[in-house]
């Protein structure tokens, strides 16, 4: 997966639950993109893609609101679980019925 890591400071701030005196002022986040926010751990469902059935139409790729669908080297859809929030839009829009939403158990 192409996930880039957030800077140490941000990782520590989240892990250690920093308070008012340590956090940057004014809610500024010293990081520039969604790469640092692993929104995938919010989800109750995950997209499970059957690459045999995938017809490479890329519907799921375009419909995914979190850009969590990645096309692999064979142009088959793949789910980036680090960012998949489990909304199921890809599954609804798949003409080949290749995407199944599976409940995540933690």
Partner 1 sequence: MSGLREVTGMTGDEAVAYAAKLVNPDVVAAYPITPQTIIVERYSDFVNNGEVDTSFIPVESEHSAMSACVGASLTGARVFTATASAGLALMYEILYVASGMRCPIVLAVANRAFSAPINIHGECTDQMVCRDASWVSLFGESAQEAYDETIMSFKIAEHPDVMLPTMFGIEGFIVTHALERVETLSKKQVEDFLPEVRSTKYRFNPDEIATFGSLVLQDYYMEIKRQQEVAMQNAYKVAKDVMAEFTEMSGRTMELVEEYKLEDAEYAFVSYGATAGNAKAVVDRLRNKGEKAGALKIRLHRPFPTLEIHEALSGIKAVSILDRSATFGSPGTILQTDLASSLYGKEDVPTLHGYINGLGGRVLTLPEIEEIYEKTKDYHDVGMTSTTDWVGYRSD
Q: Which is nearer to partner 1, 24 or 48 (CB)?
A: 24
Which letter does DSSP use for residue 16 in this model?
Answer: H
Among 72, 67, 51, 19, smallest CA distance to 90 is for 67
**Per CB under 8 A, which of residues 47..106 are in contact with partner 1?**
none
CB of 16 to partner 1, least distance (A): 13
The C-alpha atoms of residue 28 and residue 67 are separated, in whole angstroms, by 24
Stretch that binds partner 1, among 14-22, 56-64, 79-87, 96-104 (CB under 8 A): 14-22
The answer to whether residues 94 and 102 touch, using CB atoms and an 8 Å cutoff, is no
Instruction: List residues binding partner 1 (CB under 8 A).
Output: 17-21, 23-32
């Amino acid at each position: 997966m192409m996930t880039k890591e957030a800077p140490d400071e941000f990782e520590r701030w989240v892990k250690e639950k920093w308070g008012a005196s340590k956090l940057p002022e004014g809610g500024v986040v010293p990081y520039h993109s969604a790469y640092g926010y692993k929104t995938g751990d919010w989800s109750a469902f995950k997209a499970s893609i059957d690459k045999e059935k995938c017809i490479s139409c890329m519907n799921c790729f375009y419909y995914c609101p979190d850009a969590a669908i990645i096309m692999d080297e064979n142009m088959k859809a793949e789910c980036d679980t680090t960012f998949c929030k489990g909304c199921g839009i890809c599954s609804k829009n798949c003409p080949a019925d290749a995407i199944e939403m599976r409940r995540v158990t933690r």
